[in-house]
Amino acid sequence: MTNKLFEGGNVFKTADSALTQRIATKDVHPTIQFIEKITGLTFDEEDWLGTTGKKNDPDGAFEKNSSGDLDLNTDANKVSKEELISKLKAYLQSQGVPEENWMNQGRKKTDGYIHNAGDQVHFRTPIDGDDRNGYVQTDFMFTSNPDFQRGAKRGGTEQYGGTDRAILLSSVARGRGLKFSPKFGLVDPAQGDVVVADTWDKIAELLLGKGATEKDTHTVETMIAYLKNDPNYEELIAPWKETMEKAGKQVPEQAQESLADKHLRRIKQLSGVGTSHTVMASNGIRMNK
């Protein structure tokens, strides 16, 4: 057995090895169908969070065509953690798994099949519903606002992953005097972390600027493209940029702008130049603003 099979979730393990493995992209859908069958729940593709089931690389490498675990957006308005755990226990009982082996128990027992932790329930899931294929860790991620969580747990691109995107969201939020909570949305620390936005269209406009929509928040690249016209661009992305540079990732630079144009733009912002004004850019071209 090669090591790459055991680079998945790490909740289920013995003292010597992990009990779950990565899952090939082709096996994700049938495995989720098996989960739906034993739980009675439905997980549409939009509820496969992060990179779950999305990795398809033409080079054929397993690591680039597999997921470490299955992250599923689970609506707490439709099922409680207790109800889900009962369904999973019923399945284990039907398979003849002894009751003492059903649940993990902190650090005392980690080789069970169900792990109850915070807002999540983890399940050691047989791939394609057949334990002869090995097990993958399924993370049922509970939320009372599934629409928000779908956006909060987005995967990334080849250049910038989902974690990089989350760091950028937090960086821009701080620059706007707010905080980004992956659980609640945009909160205002000056008001005791009261939620000021928990829909992505509103979050987009507050973070990226007027006219921005949910689509503009999908990736690091789309956010950077929108923010580049913001006069505070460098300040807004500074914490994110520092983190990326420490990680050895190339950071997109702001489009070149002459000093004269920069001063002109700043003067216009401060003076509130209207649409009827004509200004002269540094390249000598007259522009109506």
Span 187-203, average pLDDT:
97
| Per-residue model confidence (pLDDT) at position 227 | 96
Work out whether strand 135-143 and strand 70-75 pair parallel, antiparallel, or are unpaired: parallel
Span 196-202, average pLDDT:
98
Does the structure show a pLDDT above 50 at 101? yes
Does the structure show a pLDDT above 90 at 285? no
The angle at the Cα of 12, spanning 10 to 13, to the nearest 5 degrees, equals 90
Does the structure show a pLDDT above 80 at 260? no
Does the structure show a pLDDT above 80 at 264? no
Average pLDDT, the chain: 88
For 243, other C-beta atoms within 10 Å of its C-beta total 17
pLDDT category at 108 given cuts 50, 70, 90 is: very high
Span 215-244, average pLDDT:
96
